[in-house]
Each structure stands twice: as C-alpha cells, then as structure tokens.
A and B are shown apart, each in its own frame.
Chain A
C-alpha cells in the first residue's frame, strides 16, 4: 500500500514540466472552446454599438419572442418544481412497487433526443395525430401554439428538479419529519417547517437548471412551434431565424441575452453550491 502511494507521489513530482504543460493545455482549450465563443457572441452583438443592440431589442418580433419565452418558462418551471418535489418525496421516502421504474421514467426526457420529445406531441395532438381531429372540433389548438410549446418544454425539463432532490432527500432520511410528527405537527406543518427548509438549496439549484433549460431549449420546441414569427417563436428559435436572414446583430443580440441568462444561472449556482458546501450539507 505505502509503496504504491510513494510511487504515485513521485510520479507527479518527477515531471513538473508535464504538469505545467497539461495545465496550460487545459486552460488554452477552455479559452478556445468556452470563452472565445461567448466573447464572440457579445462582440458580434455590439458590432454596431449599443444603438444596434437597442434597435434589435426594439423589434416587435424580438419582443414577442422574449415574452413568449418568459410565458413558457413561467408555466413549465413551477409545474416541474411541484411535480419534481412530489416525485422526489415519494421516491426518497417510501418503498413501493414500481419505484425503480418511476426513477427510470423521470430520467427518460434526458435520454431521448429533444427532437423526438417534440415529435411525440405532434403525433399526439397534431392535425393528423391521435387526438388532433377531436381537438380541432373542440376548437383547441395545441401544436403550433403556446400549449404545445409549454408541453414540449415541460417534458424536456422535467428531470432537473426531481433529479437534484432525490439523492438529497434519500440522504437526509425521514427522521426529522418523523420527529416533527411525534411533536404534534400536521403534514403541511411538517412540509413547510421541516422538509422544505432542509431541501431549499437543492431545490433552488434544480429550479435554476430547469429554468435555464426551459428558456434555452431548441430542439423539442422547434418541432412544435411552427415558426410563426411574432407568435410561436421563442428566443432560441428567433436567434436561428434572424441568423438565417443574415441579421447578425439581431441574432447575436438575442443570443447575448440568452448567454447573460446562462452566466447569471452559473453565478447563482456557484453561490448555492458554496452555501451548501459551507453548511456542511451534502453536495448533491
């Protein structure tokens, strides 16, 4: 044992040059692959100055895309938060038949290609889909409309909250909740005063990831959107459309907005992780 350890230590100590080389290579790759594109987005958006950016943002289609993205996220994120919380609670607290199947099902949206995640909704609710004619008679439009966008987004982003909470709740166990019950707390009191405070950072983390994906989702949304400008275009779709029109400033301005959202998410995520780590709690 001790021999292999000293050997391993010597192996890294013998070649400091290799270590520096590898570190440098990583940093260069990082700059090239991650930071350069990000910088390019902002540089391109600002290529005609702030006035160009303001003009691009003032476009009615751009404003509509931003609004639609916010609406879709505002519905699908709370929906997934509640569903994710409920399923994580079931899985983390109880053993029941089909429990492992449920865990697998929760992960399904991650393993399915986003395009397929969009196509299934077209298959179900599209004009030639299973329920399409019925819905059409009832005058309800799902595909190529906001409900379709929300459905596709919710499906794709479903796992984030549940997946962050399941290991956390499993590790924390039910003892504190049981203690609350023996002390006379009701189910709701236990949830608000004990369960929720214990998982709040994990929950916030999951919601952040869910939100970032909900706003940035392209594939599934592209299938159900129908690309009606000013009506069914979310921000990522708008970026593509403007880019195809050679409206580079417009495309990169909205891309820049999405990138800012990503950076913000990252910053809050780091803060949350730091917070969880500092409290000595599990790091998810």
Chain B
C-alpha cells in the first residue's frame, strides 16, 4: 500500500529570471533569479519582510509577478492559474478545510478533478489511506482538523498537498506553528520524506538552524533580493556579505578602516588584516570561536570566564567594546582579570555599502 503513495513523482526543475513583484509600490521581489535542480531541497531564508513568502506564492500562482519569468518543469508559468500548476503548497497555518474530515481533506485534490481525470472512488480512498499511513497518521482519517494536534495537522497538510502528486512542493514556514520539541523530530522526518518521494522542494523559514540543517542549498533573501545561494557549509564559512554573516550565526562586529590593502581595526594599533576591499571605512566580522587568544601582554582584558560544556565562554574587553569569545576547553584559557594578546586574523572584512547602510544591519547573532 505504502508504495502507491511513495511512488516517485517526476521531480521538476525551477527557473526564476529577474522576477519582480511589488505591492502598492513597495517592492516585495526586486529582481530575483534562481535555479533549482530536480530533486533539490532548497531553503529560502530571510528575516520577515524579505520577500520569501511572496516568492513562494508567485511560484504557486497565488500572486502574479509584475515582470520576469517563472519556469517550472520546462513550462513557462506566465498567466497559468494556481489550479493548473500542479504545485503542492503547505501553508504556514496549514489551511486545512475545517468542516471536512482528515480523509476528505486529503482526498480533495482528487475529488475536484474533472470527471474523466478523476480516479474511481475506491482508488481515491485507497490512495488517501496509503498517504495517511505514510505520514504515520492512518488512524486519524475520520477526525476533524480541530481534533488533532499541531504536528498531526502539519502531516495532514502535507498528505493533502502530496495527493495531487506534485513535481514541486512548496512549504511556507513548515514548523513555524509548532513547539521546539516537535519541530526537531519533524525536521528529520520531512527531509527523509523529501528524499523518498523524489520531489523538488522549496521551503521558507526565518530560522537559520532549520535551513542549514535540512536544505541542500540555502538562498538568503533580504529586501526582495537574493544575497547569496549556496550549500550550508560554504554559506557559513564564506558569507558573501555582512548581512549573510550576521544572519547565519553569532557574529562579532568591529569597525575598521581600510588603507593600502589592509584593514585597521579601530582602537587596536597593531592589528592590520589583509583585504581586497577599497579604501575607506569598513567592518570586520568574526565568529566567537574564530577569535584566538595569545598568552602574554596585549590589548585584551578578560572580564569573566564561563566554564560550562565543551566550550569556555569568555567575556573580553577590547578597545572599549565587550566581546564574547568561545574557546575549546583544552586550549589555553586566561583567568579573569588577566590581559592577553588577541588574534583576529580569521575576521572577514566588508565595506559598509550604501545598501547595507540603508537597510540597517540589526539582524545579528541569531543562534
């Protein structure tokens, strides 16, 4: 039975070319280009208002673009209404039909087909049951949405979207409405399901840990544009902009000035980091575990040492600023009150472009 539901749909590729969409003159999508390979699991990551949900909705046909092309599985979606796209959509709050049982919710996409394309009732019933079994909620078929838990509702929503055998599955904040514990187990389950079904999936999230853990690639959005698309490792190791750096994990920010191919961190006389950035004001970003501490006298003064878990967390006063530094327990650790040297050579230098200044870099260290 389960093989009927998990029958591999033909995964499709997705191509977006310079897609633009604005609401009342405010650009929600400001020239987005992106290509997604068949079978890929892509995360759209960004703060609220970055356009990620709009991107998902134009893909589903729930909004229409102002300009640009959307090609799904080789078919240009210009003017194609949502109901003809055959794209599975899982809504943030699931949008289950509240007056229908779980089974009828899942059967909906098959029941509304024109008579000639509609499978016989017996087959619809069998397919619904096998999908529910696949989701591990086979015994909930006769319940109403309000009678099942949040996690179960999400599985119903997924089963309903998968019933029409979409080549592309879109998920809007799939774990947004769930508590942390359920969230964690569902992440692994969903990733597993994606691999088994052989779908192309795109999901929206504002939680960087979720995106990094589940996705093949992550597209970071900001202000209706894609800042960077890459595999999670490289995104974390080589952020293309200060925004991506700060959005994808704890970041320490130090002001500096670039001159003669070197960045001089304010307040630290002998700290000059090589950089390609043009001369002028810039910022240096570094993650807490990338900061090195050197024995001997230096500009850093240890204020406090926090020894819990495998890492030591230190509060360091440096050039009028207080930084958090993470050190492995087996590395050299100064004691509180001691001064020491500091190694910032792993810092990345970014110039504060006009765009950064306009949008502000308030999103930092979301752990």
Q: Which residues of A contact B (CB under 8 A)?
A: 175-176, 178-186, 189, 193-194, 197-198, 279-281
Contact = CB atoms under 8 A, between A and B. Distances in A.
Contacts of B96: 176, 179
A178 B62 contact: yes
A183 B112 contact: yes
A198 B112 contact: no
A197 B98 CA distance: 9
Contact of B89 (A176, A182, A198, A279): A182
Contacts of A193: 97, 108, 112
A184 B99 contact: no
A193 B109 CA distance: 12
A182 B83 contact: yes
B82 interface: yes
Interface bin, chain B: 20 to 34
A185 B161 CA distance: 13
B112 A178 contact: no
Contacts of B225: none
User: A-B pairs with the 10 shortest C-beta distances?
Assistant: A175-B95, A183-B109, A179-B95, A185-B112, A182-B89, A181-B82, A197-B99, A184-B83, A189-B112, A176-B95
Nearest to A185: B112
B62 A184 contact: no
Given A183-B109, A185-B108, A185-B112, A178 B95 contact: yes
Interface string B46-80: 00000000000000111000000000000000000
A183 B108 contact: yes
B87 interface: yes
Interface of B: 60-62, 81-89, 91, 93, 95-100, 108-109, 112-113, 146, 160-161, 163-164
Most chain B CB inside 10 Å of its own CB: which residue of A182, A185, A189, A198: A182
20 contacts: A175-B93, A178-B82, A179-B89, A180-B108, A180-B112, A181-B61, A181-B83, A182-B60, A182-B85, A182-B87, A182-B89, A183-B112, A184-B83, A184-B109, A185-B109, A193-B97, A194-B97, A198-B98, A198-B99, A280-B146
Contacts of B113: 184
A280 B99 CA distance: 12
Given A178-B91, A180-B97, A186-B112, 17 more contacts: A175-B91, A176-B98, A178-B89, A179-B89, A181-B61, A181-B81, A181-B83, A182-B61, A182-B89, A182-B161, A183-B163, A184-B86, A184-B112, A185-B112, A189-B112, A193-B108, A198-B98
Contacts of A179: 89, 91, 95-97, 160
Contacts of B161: 182-183
Contacts of B91: 175, 178-179
Given A176-B98, A179-B97, A185 B83 contact: yes
Contacts of A189: 112
Contacts of A198: 98-99
A181 B113 CA distance: 12
A26 B24 CA distance: 53
A176 B109 CA distance: 13
Most chain A CB inside 10 Å of its own CB: which residue of B61, B83, B89: B83
A279 B85 CA distance: 34
A231 to B, nearest CB: 46
A180 B160 CA distance: 10
Nearest to A184: B83
A7 B112 CA distance: 60
Nearest to B106: A183
Nearest to A194: B97
Nearest to B60: A182
A11 to B, nearest CB: 39
B62 A182 contact: yes
Contacts of B109: 183-185
Contacts of A181: 61-62, 81-83
Contacts of A184: 83-84, 86, 109, 112-113, 164
Contacts of B60: 182
Contacts of A281: 98
A279 B97 CA distance: 14
Contacts of B95: 175-176, 178-179
B113 to A, nearest CB: 6
B34 to A, nearest CB: 20
B14 to A, nearest CB: 16
B200 to A, nearest CB: 16
A179 B61 CA distance: 11
A281 B146 CA distance: 10
Contacts of A178: 62, 82, 89, 91, 95
A23 to B, nearest CB: 36
Contacts of B100: 197
Most chain B CB inside 10 Å of its own CB: which residue of A176, A178, A183, A193: A183
A181 B100 CA distance: 16
A184 to B, nearest CB: 5
A183 B170 CA distance: 12
Given A182-B89, A183-B108, A176 B97 contact: yes
Nearest to A183: B109
A176 B113 CA distance: 18
A182 B99 CA distance: 18
Contacts of B108: 180, 183, 185, 193
Nearest to A200: B99
A230 to B, nearest CB: 47
